[in-house]
Structures are given as C-alpha cells and as structure tokens.
C-alpha cells in the first residue's frame, strides 16, 4: 500500500518552520536543514517547495498586507489600518521580527515589485492624513521600518 503525500500540508509545515527559523535567527542564521528539522521534513523538500531561503521569506512578507484593503484616505483610516495590521501581527507574531531582520540584513526588500502595489494604499492613506510625512516609495514606508524618517516620528537607519 502506497501512502499519499499531502503536498499542501508539507508546504505549510515548511513555511511555518521557515518563518520560525527566520524570526529566531535572521536570514543569515536560518539554515535549510534547521527549517527541515523544525518541520519534520527532509531539507530537500524546502528546496522542492520554495527553491531556497529567499522564497520562504518572500512568501510570508508578500502576504503581510494582502487583504487589508484601503479604499479611502484620511486620518480615520489610519486607525483602521493600524488596527488591521495589529490584528495581523497578533495572528502571526513572527512578522515584525521578519521585517526587522529584512531591514537589518538585506540590501533591499524581498519581492519589492510584488509588495510595492500592495503598500500603495496604506502609504497614500498615511500621506493624506499627515501631509508633512516623508513621501518615499511605498516599499520603504510600508515594509522597511528601519528606513523611516525621524522627522515623522519614525526611525532612521
């Protein structure tokens, strides 16, 4: 009797393990064998499903803002967006750490071209609510907190 392989469950196990490893050790410290061991799966499966470390991080960070739709602009929407983002972080507490590691270790945001349009709505919302804010590219305002300007009450790398 041949046992069927649940590819979606394996993929999710590897993704969850990758997120845990990246959150704990950063991009440079996370190892494919540790991701596989954490997931209870052979490390070759990580390569089969994702192709490498960057793809695991890309998948998780690309989904960070998906589904948080900003259709209006103005100060009241800032609170709504912040609450939705907070809920997302509560559901997936590793996300802020992943963003921090990304900012500290990588020269540019992963999947920048995919994330830029997703960040455009929140960026427009914040720019309208605070006209004096730094008007950098959506990828920097939304996904790279270490690059945020100190003048706007945010950090600067």
The verdict on pTM exceeding 0.85 is: no
In contact, 70 and 42? CB cutoff 8 Å? no
**Environment class of residue 2 by beta-carbon count within 10 Å: exposed (0-12), middle (13-18) or buried (19+)?**
exposed
pLDDT at 139: 44
Q: Is the model more confident about 2 or about 33? A: 33
pLDDT tens digits, one per residue of 115-155: 777 777 777 777 777 666 555 544 444 544 444 433 344 44
pLDDT tens digits, one per residue of 55-103: 888 887 877 777 777 777 777 788 888 888 899 889 888 988 988 888 8
pLDDT at 136: 55
pLDDT at 135: 54
Domains and CATH numbers, the chain: 7-60 (1.10.10.60), 63-152 (no CATH)
pLDDT at 20: 93
- Across 19-44, average pLDDT: 91
Neighbours of 134 (CB within 10 A): 17
Rounded distance, CA 95 to CA 112, Å?
A: 16
pLDDT at 1: 46
pLDDT at 35: 92
Q: Report the b/e string of 93-122 with b at 16+ CB within 10 A.
A: ebbeebbebbbeeeeebbbbeebbebbbbb
Q: Is the model more confident about 13 or about 124? A: 13
pLDDT at 85: 86
Most confident of 1-15, 40-54, 122-136: 40-54
In contact, 156 and 137? CB cutoff 8 Å? no
For CA atoms 127, 145, 53, 64, the dihedral sign is negative
């Amino acid at each position: 009797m041949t046992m069927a392989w649940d590819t979606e469950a394996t993929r999710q196990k590897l993704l969850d393990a990758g997120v845990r490893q990246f959150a704990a050790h950063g991009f440079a410290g996370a190892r494919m064998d540790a991701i596989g061991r954490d997931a209870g799966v052979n490390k070759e499966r990580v390569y089969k499903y994702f192709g490498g470390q960057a793809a695991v991080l890309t998948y998780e960070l690309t989904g960070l803002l998906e589904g948080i739709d900003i259709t209006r602009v103005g100060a009241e929407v800032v609170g709504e967006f912040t609450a939705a983002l907070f809920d997302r972080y509560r559901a997936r507490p590793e996300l802020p750490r992943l963003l921090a590691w990304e900012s500290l270790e990588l020269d540019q945001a992963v999947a920048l071209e995919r994330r830029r349009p997703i960040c455009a709505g929140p960026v427009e919302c914040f720019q309208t609510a605070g006209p004096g804010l730094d008007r950098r590219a959506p990828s920097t305002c939304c996904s790279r907190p270490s690059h945020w300007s100190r003048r706007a009450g945010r950090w600067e790398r």
